[in-house]
Amino acid sequence: MERLLITGGTGTIGRELLERLHTQYKIRVISRDELKQAQLKSQYPDVEFVITDIRDYRAVLKAMVGMDAVIHAAAMKRIEVCEQYPMEAVKTNVLGTENVVSAAKERGIKKLICIGTDKDCEPINVYGMTKAVEEKITLSAGYNCARYGNVFGSRGSVIPLFAELSQKGLPLTVTDPEMKRFILTPKEAIDLLLLALNSPMDGTIFVKKSPAAKVGDIAAAFSDNICVIGANPFEKKCEMLLTGDEMSRAEDRDGYYIINKDKKSITEAIPYTSDKTDLLSVEQIKELAKQYGQSN
């Protein structure tokens, strides 16, 4: 049985990975969250949980012993926190990724992927900038990357917050109702990660095609008590999953794009943005909320 290390394995994606893979792989999870590790240990007794900070190279190198593959999911993800503490984001998302990739190389691990985000395409905030560098570090080492937008109901998304505020009868604050965000389900995210992990390791980015939703429609799916407060300077009106240059080099596959770092193009295409894809309706968002336990 192949041995898989998941960094940040107590987060939303980490938990989804455990649910899908705990019978297929011998899994070791590293994270800094001792409470969630204890909770997950009772649910997955065959999974090994280790308290490790990816900022500590020696600890990461030790955690890599005996592993065959790595899914690097650990990151600082909250945009406003990264804006407030930019060097902390650099330490985790950039230097931490360098530790993970270097340790994997030192241990001779052939398969590793990192998780990219639409925020790292032409980034305007610290989170996106650090995640863009994370991708570069991973690709330059010859490993792959899986890039996608907002995972519905994940800890870093607004969905759990909207659900909680609605249940308490409190107003939902929205910066700009017309903002459009890519949306995908946890299953779709995991499918893309496994595709990237089990494909040849040659510095390829795998990008999930996804519908989008207006932030105002997401809020309306939970409540009609909505307060518009205005956009923040570190938010885009629309997000981007592929730049124009990347689109010109991308291969269109069924449900996703792939971009090889060495493929060149002399032309530029239209970027793949959240205003150029299908929009989810309020009813479709409500159905997703029911499906993933986020409805009232």
Catalytic residues, by residue number, are: 119
Summary count for the chain: helices (H), strands (E)? 12, 16
Largest Cα separation within the chain, whole Å, is 54
Per-residue tokens: 124: 């305007």
- φ/ψ (deg, to 5) at 180: -115, 135
Per-residue tokens: 109: 């691990």
Place of tokens 């992927």: 113
Contacts for 20 with CB less than 8 Å, ≥ 6 apart: 190, 194
As a whole number of angstroms, the distance between CA 147 and CA 167 comes to: 32
As a whole number of angstroms, the distance between CA 285 and CA 296 comes to: 13
